[in-house]
């Protein structure tokens, strides 16, 4: 689940909807709305782990063995990338300097981008694809080892 101190209005998360009628998934990409009560909302949400597909939907471009973005008024395509993720080092850089606290989730990227530019990151996620139902929670829940009960051993 989410830590309510990490999210703000406009952050995208995976929300458990529970509306499955064979037409709608249990999970949806949702931005946190202004009228949401954070503590209740966080109980039914998971962070969105960054991936190449998510970065592309956030306006990042791929090139030179990295994903990068240059905000409109800050830089042009020919300049040093403003914010980038390098594939080989698996880390984030701001104007060529490694960021000490690495970004893992979309809401962290949104918050960092907003803090640096005072602009919201333009995100177009679309629908959540329910291909692997356990994927959003896989890094929270670890399977338990099977316990053999006395009655089963006999």
> Tokens standing for 122?
């333009």
Integer Cα distance of 33 and 24 in angstroms: 21
Q: Where are the beta strands (DSSP E) in 57-113?
A: 61-63, 66-69, 83-86, 91-94, 97-98
Contact 123, 129 (CB under 8 A): no
Confidence at residue 15, expressed as pLDDT on a 0 to 100 scale = 83
Contact 95, 33 (CB under 8 A): no
Mean pLDDT computed over every residue of the chain = 76
pLDDT (mean) for 35-59: 82
- Lowest mean pLDDT segment, chosen from 30-39, 79-88, 103-112, 141-150: 141-150
Q: Which of 83, 71, 75 is nearest to 120 (CA)?
A: 71
Helix, strand or coil for residue 78?
coil
In this structure, the strands spanning 91-94 and 45-46 are unpaired
CA distances from 7 to 54, 82, 133, 148, 149 (A): 18, 23, 24, 42, 43
Residue 7 has pLDDT above 70, yes or no: yes
Integer Cα distance of 58 and 76 in angstroms: 17
Whether the model clears a pTM of 0.85, i.e. scores above it, the answer is no
pLDDT (mean) for 126-152: 50
Q: Where are the beta strands (DSSP E) in the chain?
A: 12-16, 27-31, 45-46, 61-63, 66-69, 83-86, 91-94, 97-98
Residue-wise pLDDT for 86-116, tens only, equals 988 899 999 889 999 899 999 999 999 999 9
């Amino acid at each position: 689940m989410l830590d309510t101190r990490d999210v703000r209005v406009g952050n995208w998360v995976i929300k458990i909807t529970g509306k499955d009628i064979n037409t709608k998934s249990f999970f949806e990409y949702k931005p946190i709305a202004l009228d949401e009560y954070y503590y209740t909302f966080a109980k039914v949400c998971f962070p969105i782990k960054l991936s190449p597909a998510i970065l592309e939907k956030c306006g990042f471009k791929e090139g030179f063995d990295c994903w990068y973005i240059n905000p409109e008024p800050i830089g042009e395509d020919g300049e040093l990338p403003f914010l980038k993720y390098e594939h080989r080092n698996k880390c984030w850089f701001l104007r060529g300097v490694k960021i000490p606290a690495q970004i893992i989730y979309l809401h962290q990227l949104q918050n960092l981008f907003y803090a640096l530019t005072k602009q919201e990151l333009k995100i177009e996620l679309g629908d959540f694809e329910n291909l692997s139902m356990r994927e959003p929670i896989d890094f929270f829940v670890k399977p338990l080892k099977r316990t053999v009960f006395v009655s089963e051993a006999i």
